[in-house]
Structure 1
């Protein structure tokens, strides 16, 4: 029978070492729940008085990634010209051990790990890529991209990936999320917070969307809108779908779909 690689990891944590010390050396026998609470309090005190250790704990991974202080890359800019940030990622955590114990599906576990890794990186001023996540998690880029799509389909936030934050590539996930929130009457500052974008970026997407919406209402075709706005066909089509969803009255049988 194949052994679960997560089976014994919870026996090697700092928290578990405290529990064993209290039992073996201090002879504090009795309710295991009480010992767990004491251990939790000691761990929190350790983090409070030695905060640096919280970023370099059990199962952490040192990584160098792109700083979120970079702007959208210029044409021909080399990867090595990006500002970099050294970060500590929560590679294997007690949450992973518990999820395995609960027999959470591999797909769900992957989504949880991707969200945890990308958000931890952003909190430390860095932005992970799909390729980096694939290397860290030992998955193909296709699998990581699929999991990211599944996450966005089931959550109302946008993962702070490099491509989304710097508006790189052909994907329109971040634009869609921003406009969905806008159409739901969420205020731009709250949209910026939820989607890990600057307020300027959010305002820019809303302005573009409103331009497209105005032109569609005037009966202008997708091809014409592309030329008039200078935006790509994929972006125009994405906005058009959103307008169809929230403003179906703008369309009639004569409009170019």
Structure 2
């Protein structure tokens, strides 16, 4: 019934006060419903969902109160560590509730520049090997750092596509697509074809071909040394 639909919408966009805890914020973001990025698709064309994000925790406040002053570098490292912890918490919380935060949304929520957040994302991924569920990663938008490399690295380590999906927050289709492209180019490399020939055979752009060629040799350094 129409009245039920209206009530459902009201509950989604205006949750009751008791549903929002300490330091949490109600936020509308992109819905994680398996949709894919496509050329010309605008931000408003994606579905949305309402999530409750743990922006500030009691531990955050306590650390500010009791943190001892140190030298300039130690203060900077402390802030960076705290920021990364907040970033991870927000992204994972949104994902668990069926939402995907974009880099711009995260930038506003944390009051940090996109370049700073990119640095944080790279640092976290390099340290943990985990890809966080940022909208651009999950929807495969742009050329965000290392996501393709991590997927192929896990594949070369013998991880199954299903395990890679769990580890990287990518869809099964995206993981399968990367692996298929990599395997195709890998076979052609082994046949000693150059990048121009690989581009013609696969129909991939030269940029993509070079990315996979670099990945292949980075992940197989012995082969590169023997060339």
Class of the TM-score when normalised by the shorter of the 2 chains: 0.7 to 0.9
Distance 1:84 1:215, change over 3 A: same
User: Residues 172 and 238 of structure 1 are in contact (CA less than 8 Å); yes or no, is this contact kept in structure 2?
Assistant: no
1:179 aligns to 2:152 (yes or no): yes
Offset, 1:228: 2.5
The size of the alignment, in residue pairs, is 203
For the aligned residue pairs, the C-alpha RMSD in angstroms reads 2.3
State the distance in 2 between where 1:54 and 1:183 align. 48
TM-score, normalised via structure 1 length: 0.71
* Match of residue 206 from structure 1: 179
State the distance in 1 between where 2:67 and 2:186 align. 47
Offset, 1:252: 6.7
Pick aligned residue for 2:94 from 121, 136, 141: 121
State the distance in 2 between where 1:54 and 1:167 align. 36
1:90 aligns to 2:54 (yes or no): yes
Offset, 1:131: 0.7
State the distance in 2 between where 1:64 and 1:166 align. 17
Query: Match of 1:73, SS?
Result: coil
Offset, 1:164: 0.8
State the distance in 2 between where 1:60 and 1:128 align. 15
User: Residues 70 and 83 of structure 1 are in contact (CA less than 8 Å); yes or no, is this contact kept in structure 2?
Assistant: no
Query: Match of 1:105, SS?
Result: helix
Offset, 1:244: 1.2
* Match of residue 8 from structure 2: none
Distance 1:205 1:112, change over 3 A: same
Query: Match of 1:87, SS?
Result: strand
* Match of residue 151 from structure 1: 124
Offset, 1:241: 2.6
Per-residue CA deviations over 1:164-193 (Å, capped at 9, x if unaligned) read: 111111235221111111111122211110
Per-residue CA deviations over 1:193-231 (Å, capped at 9, x if unaligned) read: 011122232122111111111111112222332332233
User: Residues 159 and 195 of structure 1 are in contact (CA less than 8 Å); yes or no, is this contact kept in structure 2?
Assistant: yes
User: Residues 172 and 235 of structure 1 are in contact (CA less than 8 Å); yes or no, is this contact kept in structure 2?
Assistant: no
Q: Which 10-residue stretch deviates more, 226-235 or 215-224?
A: 226-235
State the distance in 2 between where 1:67 and 1:187 align. 27
1:130 aligns to 2:103 (yes or no): yes
Distance 1:226 1:86, change over 3 A: same
Larger radius of gyration: 1
Offset, 1:53: 8.0
TM-score, normalised via structure 2 length: 0.80
State the distance in 1 between where 2:189 and 2:29 align. 41
Point out where structure 2 has 5 or more consecutive residues left out of the alignment: 1-15, 69-76
User: Residues 37 and 140 of structure 2 are in contact (CA less than 8 Å); yes or no, is this contact kept in structure 1?
Assistant: no
Q: Which 10-residue stretch deviates more, 126-135 or 74-83?
A: 74-83
1:229 aligns to 2:202 (yes or no): yes
Point out where structure 1 has 5 or more consecutive residues left out of the alignment: 1-51
